[in-house]
Amino acid sequence: MAEKFGAKSTTQDVLTGVDLRGKRILVTGVSAGLGVETARALAAHGADVVGAARDLEKAKRATSEVSKTAAENGGSFELVELDLANLKSVRTAADKLVADGRLFDVIIANAGVMATPFGKTADGFETQFGTNHLGHFVFVNRIAKLIKDGGRLVNLSSSGHRFSDVDLNDPNFETTPYEPFVAYGRSKTANVLFAVEFDRRHRDRGVRATAVHPGGIMTELARYMPDGAIEAFLQQIQEQRAAAGEPPYEFKSIPQGAATSVWAGLVAHVDEVGGKYCEDCQVAELIPIDSQVSAISRGVRGYALDPESAKALWKKSEELVGEVFA
C-alpha cells in the first residue's frame, strides 16, 4: 500500500527511496522559493533538471547549490531564459527547446506572480492572467510534443483560486474594477482549468496533467503586497477560520510547500491525479457550492474543474495569444 503523505510532508519525505536518474524534468521559476527547492530535490535524486527563469543571473545565484547537488548525485542542471510576461521570450525559449529535441518526463509550471498592482504584460494582458496563465499556456503547448508518452504536466495553482472564477468576457479588467486578489484568483483558476483541458487532450498517449496548491509559504511571491498587508490578511483569515470552527492557519516551510508538486509529478499514481487539483500531497475534496469557507481552507471549487469551462478558457486563450494548439 502506498505511503500516505500530508500537509507536513517535505520533498525529502515524498522522494525517499525514489531514483530519478534518467528522468528529465523542466521547472519554471527557479530563481527563488519553491522553484529552487523543487529543482534541488529532483537533482538530489539524480534527475536531469532544466530550470527556466526570467532573470538568469539571479537564477544562477539562487541555484548554485542545485548545480552542485546534481553533479554529486548523477544528474545535471541547466538554465534557460523565460519571461512569461513576454510572449516573444516565451516563444523563443520554447523554440530553442524544440530545436534541441530532448524529451521531458515531467514539466512543472511553477513560476508566477501574486496580487500585483494593476499592470499589463508586454503583450497587453493583465499582469497576473498574462503571466500566470497565458505565458505558461503558450510555453507548455509549444513544447507539448517534447513530453514523453506517459509523462506529466504539473501546474501550480493556489487555494487563491477561490477568490474568483475566470472571466472570459473581461480577462484584462477593461470594464471590471481591478482588485489584486480577484485577478490572482482568476489566474489561479485558469491554471487548474488549463490542466483539466490539457489532460483531456493528451491522455490518449498517456500524458496527464494536474494542478497543485503548495500551501501558504513565506516566499518572494508576496513581494508586491504593501507593508503590513500580509499581517492584516492573515489576521482576517484567522478570524474567518475561528468563526468556522477551523484550527489556526500555519505556514509551511519551503520543502513542505514543494512536496505536492514533486508528489503529483513523480510519486502519485497517474490515474489518481490526472485532471485533478491536489493539495497536501493528496487529491483535494470538492467544496460544495453553498459552503462558506475561508480563502485558504482545504478543498477545490467546482468551477475550477468544470470541463466545459476548461474548453472555453482554452479557446479564449488561443484567441488572445493568436495561436491555435492542436
Choose the catalytic residue: 188, 276, 277, 294.
188
Choose the catalytic residue: 9, 31, 157, 158.
157
Q: Pairing state of beta strands 277-279 and 282-283?
A: antiparallel
- Residue type at 299 in one-letter notation: G
- Residue type at 136 in one-letter notation: H
DSSP 8-state class, residue 227: T
Residue among 87, 109, 97, 319 at smallest CA distance from 210: 109
Q: Where does the chain show beta strands of DSSP type E?
A: 24-28, 48-53, 76-81, 104-109, 147-156, 208-213, 277-279, 282-283, 286-287, 300-301
- Residue type at 257 in one-letter notation: G
* Distance of alpha carbon 106 from alpha carbon 45, whole angstroms: 15
Choose the catalytic residue: 159, 184, 261, 317.
184
Place of cell 532573470: 55
| 310-323: burial string, b at 16+ Cβ within 10 Å, e else | beebbebbeebbee
* Distance of alpha carbon 166 from alpha carbon 312, whole angstroms: 10
Q: Is 184 a catalytic residue?
A: yes
Q: Exposed (0-12), middle (13-18) or buried (19+): which is 40, by Cβ within 10 Å?
A: buried
> Hey, which residues are catalytic here?
157, 184, 188
